[in-house]
Amino acid sequence: MRLKISDTENFTMGIKHLINEELTSSYEAIEKVTTETRHETIHSLRKSFKRIRAILRLIREKIGKQEYKKQNTFYRDLGRQISDLRDSTSIIEVLDDLRIKHKKELETDAFELPLESLTYYRRQATKKQLDQEDKLSFIQSALYDKLIASEEWIPEIESFTDLSPSLRRVYKRGKEGLAKSIESKSPQDFHEWRKRAKYLRFEMEVLNRIWPKPMKAFAKELHDITDYLGTDHDLYLLTEKINNSDVQFKSTTEKSILMALIEHQRQQLQEYSILKGKKFYNFHSDQFIQLLENAWNLHQKRKKKDSLLKQVVLIHQ
């Protein structure tokens, strides 16, 4: 669990530390990047920006609409700089996974040509965006500016009510996203639901200390949902590539086999995510927030009690 505030740390300082850690690790990842590791680095950067945006959503009410929009837009736009490259890698990985999963039923050289054509496309995109446009240097420079900037825009988080409106909104939108996905079965709706579930997952990690075991379980359920939906989206992007004739095949039969495998896999992933989603989003949003608020208040009482006990021990030493 990466987004974790220690039990003894002031919550506001913890938020600042989490953002700083994500910025620092992203900056250092670019500093150390090599030709062999740059696609892995791109994936790492995208995840870091999403974590920061989840934290921003958590404290949205406290920092205000204008500051939230400014900060969120900054990290969203940084992520978009490298989104095409990340997608191209995800498509290659999901096709390779399909080939491995069904290798017993497939010919030895199945999907080699599609993989070669997708790898060629990524190589050309990498050359343009990283070698010619040097997008990683641009991102690193922007991260450096953030690292040396003041953190005064993050005010003191004084109580759960500073967080509850944002938590309620993210949970409610996730629940609505599930319902919309069930009704429409559209790739866009599943993808939007995934975004909402991912933000909530990261927020559960940030709040882990208030109720460790249940919060870890919540985060795990959301992680499973977003993994299923993420693979589904990657398969959808692969389908789009095929439909746009961006993928080469050795025969129409090979193409038909792949399309059938993709369709079957996507159907399974959507069913799994919906089953888990129905279980997780079974609460009314008010009930879910009340659970978290009760846990927050109990944690605060325990902290106060522990602090008093320490003072008593010090007095009697």
pLDDT for 310: 56
Question: Do 20 and 133 lie in a common domain?
Answer: yes
CA 229 to chain centre: 11
* CA-atom Rg of the chain in angstroms: 22
**CA proximity to 266, closest of 314, 225, 229, 303:** 229
Query: Final residue of a domain: which of 99, 131, 155?
Result: 155
Question: Do 124 and 246 lie in a common domain?
Answer: no
Average confidence (pLDDT) over 63-90: 97
- Confidence check: pLDDT of 308 > 60: no
Average confidence (pLDDT) over 187-211: 98
Model confidence band, residue 44 (pLDDT cutoffs 50, 70, 90): very high
Question: Do 215 and 241 lie in a common domain?
Answer: yes
Question: Do 89 and 137 lie in a common domain?
Answer: yes
> Is position 230 within any domain?
yes
Query: Final residue of a domain: which of 119, 139, 155?
Result: 155
- In this structure, what is the dihedral angle of CA atoms 130, 136, 141, 146, given to the nearest 10 degrees? 150
Whether 133 contacts 274, CB under 8 Å: no
H or E element at residue 154: none
Average confidence (pLDDT) over 215-228: 98
pLDDT for 14: 96
pLDDT for 303: 80
pLDDT for 317: 56
Query: Final residue of a domain: which of 96, 125, 155?
Result: 155
Domain extent at residue 188: 159-310
Question: Do 109 and 176 lie in a common domain?
Answer: no
Distance CA 48, CA 139 (A): 13
pLDDT for 187: 98
Whether 205 contacts 166, CB under 8 Å: no
Question: Do 148 and 168 lie in a common domain?
Answer: no
**CA proximity to 56, closest of 74, 77, 81:** 74
% of the chain beyond a pLDDT of 90: 91
- pTM equals 0.93
Task: Please provide the average confidence, as pLDDT, over all residues in the chain.
Answer: 94
- The residue type of 151 is E
Tokens 């190589």 locate to 123
> Is position 2 within any domain?
no
- Confidence check: pLDDT of 306 > 80: no
Distance CA 284, CA 169 (A): 12
> Is position 315 within any domain?
no
Question: Do 106 and 187 lie in a common domain?
Answer: no
> Is position 316 within any domain?
no
pLDDT for 137: 96
Tokens 């021990």 locate to 313
Higher-confidence residue of 112 and 150: namely 112
